[in-house]
Copies of this chain bind each other. A is one copy, B any other.
Amino acid sequence: MNESLLLTIAVLGGTGKEGKGLAYRWAKAGYRVLIGSRASAKAVTAASEIIQLLEGSSSVVGTTNLEAAQQAEIVVLTVPYAAHRETLESVKEALQGKLLVDVTVPLVPPKLTRVQMPPAGSAAQEAKEIVGEDVEVVAAFQNVSFKYLLGEEDLDSDVLVTGTSKKARAEVLTLVEAAGLTGWDAGPIENSVVVEGLASVLININKQYGSKHAGIKITGVTRNS
């Protein structure tokens, strides 16, 4: 746990359900977590909610998206797609030399069951275009329910991790494990279209089969760890 105690993770848009759930899991695992929001007051409230859930001893602080990005080594983006570009542009300078984890699914209402990717190919590739060469970008956690993360229900779904380098993907796979999930190296950032697009496929399956939390598991692989 020595490494995790040293690392600070910023969760931008961390007042949303998904971000709050991830922040909770990582704080529980010993990471220092900064909740970011456009308005710091909302982030402070979210941080105190998480501290309450964890009954004390954790390090969770609420602040603005920009300050959170500035103070963290790893920056996780959990805003709705409509705020994706604007949020990234507002923290771009603070991200240089760091690792960005993009949780965004580019759903375009009202056709949530139809894959509709931005011109860059996926939200993660769009993020890479915005933040530039000196930021590693990894896509992950798109299909994890916040209800699971907050411990209210079981989840039997894996996390596929795509990104700009194998090293960056490995770092995020450590965060996946720390959150109590099973992760898989799903290849280069061009493969993000598959993982982000799976959200629409799973929404369609929920609609067709009357389920609420369709997920996926990788099969046929024996893991040594």
Q: Which residues of A contact B (CB under 8 A)?
A: 113-117, 155-157, 160, 162, 184-188, 190-191, 193-195, 197-198, 200-202, 204-206, 208-209, 211-223
Interface centre among A155, A157, A201, A212 (most CB of B within 10 A): A201
Enumerate chain B residues within 8 angstroms of A156, measured Cβ to Cβ. 219-220
State in angstroms the CA–CA spacing of A217 and B217 once bound together: 5
Q: Is the CB of B219 within 8 A of A115?
A: no
Per a CB cutoff under 8 Å, which of B187, B214, B219 touches A114?
A: B187
Q: In the complex, how many angstroms separate the beta carbon of A202 from the nearest chain B beta carbon?
A: 8
Main secondary structure of the interface of A (DSSP, over half): mixed
Enumerate chain B residues within 8 angstroms of A221, measured Cβ to Cβ. 205-206, 209, 211, 214
State in angstroms the CA–CA spacing of A220 and B209 once bound together: 11
Chain B residue nearest in CB terms to A184 = B205
Chain B residue nearest in CB terms to A186 = B201
Enumerate chain B residues within 8 angstroms of A201, measured Cβ to Cβ. 160, 162, 186-187, 191, 194-195
Per a CB cutoff under 8 Å, which of B197, B212, B214 touches A219?
A: B214
Enumerate chain B residues within 8 angstroms of A215, measured Cβ to Cβ. 218-220
Enumerate chain B residues within 8 angstroms of A213, measured Cβ to Cβ. 220
Q: Is the CB of B200 within 8 A of A191?
A: yes
Q: Is the CB of B194 within 8 A of A198?
A: yes
Q: A184-B205, A186-B204, A205-B184 are in contact. Are A114 and B218 (CB under 8 A)?
A: no
